[in-house]
């Protein structure tokens, strides 16, 4: 299995530089070292910066964050790995002015993902952008337009696309191992706590709140937003479906070989706590596709009872069997529900924390860097990332308007619903509108 999956990723050699990771990522081309700037390093971005630092023939040149404490910590973490101290800056745009920077990695809040990526492309940089690739559907479209115009590699952080066990499981499905696959079930169940009721407060001295807001319309600082809780506010975040559902929905879409849906329905609400959380802690989304296929997503942000023994995962149902997979392996069952194969990944990936570090991130970063060098095909081109993220946006829009959405199967755009299409884009702070 490892040999076959590795061949699909263009693997040619190994490096054992990362503690606990062994030989699961590769040395790149010795003739081309790449310099990377990492933007947004409080949680996930810290793991991402370290993943880049561990790569052979790559150097993290800049660490950028509006939180001076996060900059200091991540600069030290990266320096300890690569032996070279990166420059710590508050405004990532200074790194874009450096002609020797090859790539920008973005792990800032969601409202920054597409605008920062577009600025990076316009500066001639390759882009690694965490999911979701856009705060709204229109930003995903804009990012694809920008990638095509500027001709750089743009990879989204749906790292399971680079996982060896996932690649093997998907290939098994595509080869007819469970007959004709027609349904995907994705889920995420966690035990998030209440974010309470925020109060107006002075901006902390360590935070550049003006730049943190960036493209988003301005609002006074409150004490329950930064860090992480911004995920649950429409102004900056995209809810649990885009935050975590993107990963497993992406796997289901990949396994079923589907692109845009023809019908989307959503139900749920904010049930567990009474607080400032604007999105939904409980959500069921159904996506129907034209080729007789369906994907369902169940999100429970505050009720952690697992599904099929997993807090998160994907199950693919076919005419002759079932495949259940997560970040750490997969199981295959025949049509009579007998377990016929179980495979576990060599390294354990974080699944339920806010940073998500582990072997899949290293492999996905390696794939991105090698794709820049032209050595391999991308695991997650931005066109594919956008399709999966769009499903999550459509689920949120269906929930917000309280209606079934009907979509153009060629573009994913909503048809015949003016109220829903008003949520296709967003209002920007004047002067911050992304342009191609």
For 279-301, the pLDDT digits (tens) are 999 999 999 999 899 999 999 99
Nearest Cα neighbor of 368 from 203, 133, 154 is 154
The vertex-159 CA angle with 145 and 82, nearest 5°, equals 100
Mean pLDDT of 72-100: 98
pLDDT at 398: 98
Give the pLDDT of residue 351.
66
Query: Is 90 exceeded by the pLDDT of residue 15?
Result: no
Q: Which residues of 36-50 are buried (b: 16+ CB within 10 A; e: fewer)?
A: bbbbbbbbbbbbbbb
Are 183 and 295 in contact by the 8 Å Cβ rule? The answer is: yes
For residues 379 and 271, what is the distance between their CA atoms, to the nearest angstrom? 37
Residue ranges matching CATH 3.30.360.10 in the chain = 168-196+223-349+383-421
Q: Please, are residues 155 and 382 in contact by the beta-carbon 8 Å criterion?
A: yes
pLDDT classification of 1: cutoffs 50, 70, 90? very low
Q: To which CATH superfamily is domain 2-160 assigned?
A: NAD(P)-binding Rossmann-like Domain (3.40.50.720)
Mean pLDDT, all residues of the chain: 92
- HSE (CB half, 13 Å, CA atoms) of 349? 25
What 3-state DSSP class applies to 342? Answer: strand
Peptide bond into 132 cis (omega under 30): yes
Mean pLDDT of the region 218-239? 98
- The rounded distance, in Å, linking the Cα atoms of 356 and 163 is 14
Q: Is the pLDDT of residue 28 over 50?
A: no
Q: Flag whether pLDDT at 24 surpasses 70.
A: no
Contact (CB, 8 A) for 169 and 340: no
Determine the Cα–Cα distance for residues 393 and 416; give it in Å rounded to an integer.
17
Given a cut of 90, whether residue 418 has pLDDT beyond it is yes
Taking residues 61-87, report their average pLDDT. 98
Parallel, antiparallel, or unpaired: how do β-strands 282-289 and 293-300 relate? antiparallel
The class of domain 168-196+223-349+383-421 in CATH terms is alpha beta
| Residue range(s) occupied by CATH 3.40.50.720 in the chain | 2-160
Backbone angles phi, psi at 68, to 5 degrees: -65, -30
In this predicted structure, the answer to whether residue 18 has a pLDDT above a threshold of 60 is: no
Residue-wise pLDDT tens digits, 343-370: 998 877 666 666 666 789 999 999 999 9
Q: What are 127's two structure tokens?
A: 């882009």
Averaged pLDDT, 64-90: 98
């Amino acid at each position: 299995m490892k040999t076959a999956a590795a061949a699909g990723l263009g693997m040619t050699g190994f490096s054992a530089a990362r503690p606990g990771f062994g030989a699961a990522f590769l040395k790149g081309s010795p003739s081309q070292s790449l310099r990377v700037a990492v933007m947004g390093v409080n949680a996930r971005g810290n793991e991402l910066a370290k993943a880049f630092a561990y790569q052979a023939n790559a150097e993290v040149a800049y660490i950028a964050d509006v939180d001076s404490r996060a900059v200091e910590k991540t600069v030290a973490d990266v320096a300890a790995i690569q032996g070279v101290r990166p420059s710590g800056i508050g405004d990532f745009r200074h790194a874009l002015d450096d002609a020797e920077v090859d790539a920008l990695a973005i792990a800032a809040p969601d409202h920054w993902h597409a605008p920062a990526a577009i600025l990076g492309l316009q500066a001639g940089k390759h882009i690694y952008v965490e999911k979701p690739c856009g705060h709204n559907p229109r930003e995903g479209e804009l990012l694809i337009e920008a990638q095509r115009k500027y001709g750089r590699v743009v990879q989204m952080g749906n790292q399971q696309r680079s996982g060896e066990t996932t690649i093997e499981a998907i290939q098994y499905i595509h080869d007819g191992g469970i007959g004709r696959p027609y349904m995907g079930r994705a889920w995420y169940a966690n035990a998030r706590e209440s974010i309470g009721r925020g109060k107006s407060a002075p901006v902390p001295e360590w935070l550049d709140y003006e730049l943190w807001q960036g493209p988003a319309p301005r609002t006074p600082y409150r004490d329950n937003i930064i860090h992480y809780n911004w995920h649950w506010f429409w102004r900056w975040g995209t809810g649990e479906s885009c935050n975590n559902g993107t990963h497993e929905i992406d796997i289901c879409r990949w396994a079923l070989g589907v692109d845009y849906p023809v019908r989307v329905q959503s139900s749920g609400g904010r049930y567990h706590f009474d607080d400032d959380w604007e999105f939904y802690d409980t959500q069921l989304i159904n996506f129907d596709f034209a080729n007789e296929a369906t994907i369902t997503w169940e999100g429970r942000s505050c009720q952690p009872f697992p599904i099929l023994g997993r807090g998160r995962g994907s199950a693919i149902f076919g005419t002759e069997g079932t495949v259940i997979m997560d970040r750490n392996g997969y199981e295959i069952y025949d049509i009579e529900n007998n377990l016929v194969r179980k495979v576990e990944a060599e390294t354990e990936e974080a699944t339920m924390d806010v940073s998500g570090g582990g072997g899949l991130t290293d492999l996905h970063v390696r794939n991105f860097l090698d794709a820049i060098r032209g050595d391999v095909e991308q695991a997650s081109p931005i066109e594919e990332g956008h399709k999966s993220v769009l499903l999550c946006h459509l689920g949120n829009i269906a929930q917000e308007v309280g209606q079934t959405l009907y979509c153009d199967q060629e573009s994913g755009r909503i048809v015949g619903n003016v109220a829903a299409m008003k949520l296709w884009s967003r209002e920007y702070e004047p002067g911050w509108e992304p342009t191609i």
